[in-house]
A = this chain, B = another copy of it.
Amino acid sequence: MLTTSHRQLLRVISESGPLSRTEMAVALGLSKAAMSGLARDLIDLGVLHEAGTVYGQGRPSTRLDLQPEWAFFAGISLIQDPAPMILCDLGGKVIARIDMPLSRDPQTIAQSIAERLPELFKVHPQAAAKIGGIGIALSGFVDERQATCIQSTLLNWQGVPLADIVREHTGINAFIENDAKAIAVHEKLFGSTRDQQNFTVVSLGDGIGCAHVIDGRLYRGNHGGAGEIAHCTIELGGAPCRCGKRGCLDTIASMNAIKEMARVEGFACTTLSDIEQIAATGNAAAIKILHRAGSALGLAIANLIQINDPGLILITHTEDGLQGLFGTVMQQAIETNVLPRYAGQTPIRLHRVSDDIWARGAASIAAHNFLIGPNTN
């Protein structure tokens, strides 16, 4: 079994990339003697491997890195139909991808997963033997054990122990997680924010998701509801939202809302880029829609910065067109609504992602549990 020190070491490598034994010792605050043993353990297990030599003065150092093929992880997104199902390795690389029919019935979902796993495993002869876990991303609230869906409006669930059900059907360790939180863990483990200890992810898909990483760990809040930025009230007495409130950010700035408003205006468009193009011709209605959406999202993010002062805001988006009016207004709105001292101090990073992001996030949840342990350390 892996001790706490082994896991800490794996965490450091996942954050910093390949390191020499001496560098690892410094990073963990351990002696070279202790590191020597830890490294040997993990190399013997096949988790780490020697990856290159760095020459300098004195004896060259051997860099140790994760062995990507030591373990594989399946990830499924239940927020798309059909539901994508991917297989990735310990480096986060997607090595297989298939689709699965979406269902609202937990048993059916578990059965579908169990049935389709063999196909996913075909891509690598040892995938089945080395599977480290299954992760599932869904829209809704998940308990801190990442096992039970406390509530999901989209799936019409309440207290569904999906992880246990999938575990029973597949015999493989399974975890579930909220969609935005899964993306946050993905970015922390495999993405561009590996080395960041405090950041917030805002994910722009059809809806708006958000999740916080604090002190290097996912922060889920007391009821698993941290990051529900989509239902912050932006326009007092605004349009009714499906959540029952009025003027939620989701009704103004989500891709769904933007497209719906465009449809009402009679525009024939299916993507953000389409609307941006119409706005670029000077169309007042299109400009208004994008301007309103951009400033709403910017205001919400500005409030978030004021409240939490994260080290970075990573905005992941599945659509192109973030360089247009919407994105520009958003950035301006952030600037104008953040304390002048802070304006510009919090980097806003845009990151275009594919539709696989949720499935990859789901797999990351499994990888995180397997590699570093449950989030509660």
Contacts and interface: CB of A to CB of B under 8 A. Distances in A.
Contacts of A229: 306-307
A214 B212 CA distance: 12
A318 B100 CA distance: 58
A121 to B, nearest CB: 38
Contacts of A306: 225, 228-229, 231-232
Contacts of A232: 302-303, 306-307, 337
Pick the most buried of A151, A221, A307, A346: most chain B CB atoms within 10 A of its CB. Answer: A307
B243 A339 contact: yes
Interface string A351-366: 0000000000000000
A244 interface: yes
A309 interface: yes
Contact of A244 (B220, B302, B312, B340): B340
A299 B342 contact: no
B310 A222 contact: yes
A245 interface: yes
A221 B310 contact: yes
A31 interface: no
A304 interface: yes
Contacts of A339: 225, 228, 231, 243, 245
A308 B198 contact: no
A227 interface: yes
A271 interface: no
Interface string A266-288: 00000000000000000000000
A73 interface: no
Contacts of A345: 223
A339 B150 CA distance: 15
Contact of A309 (B198, B215, B223, B337): B223
A161 interface: no
A233 B309 contact: no
Contacts of A220: 309
Interface size class for chain A?
Answer: 35 or more
A336 interface: yes
B214 A219 contact: yes
B236 A299 contact: yes
A341 interface: yes
B309 A303 contact: no
Contacts of A224: 309
A12 interface: no
B151 A341 contact: yes
Contact of A342 (B223, B227, B303): B223
Interface of A: 141, 151, 198, 210, 212, 214-215, 219-229, 231-233, 236, 243-245, 299, 302-304, 306-312, 336-337, 339-342, 345-346
15 contacts: A221-B310, A222-B309, A222-B311, A224-B309, A225-B342, A226-B309, A231-B339, A232-B306, A232-B337, A233-B302, A233-B337, A236-B299, A243-B340, A245-B339, A307-B307
Q: Which 7 A-B pairs have the closest CB atoms?
A: A221-B309, A222-B311, A225-B309, A226-B309, A233-B337, A244-B340, A232-B303
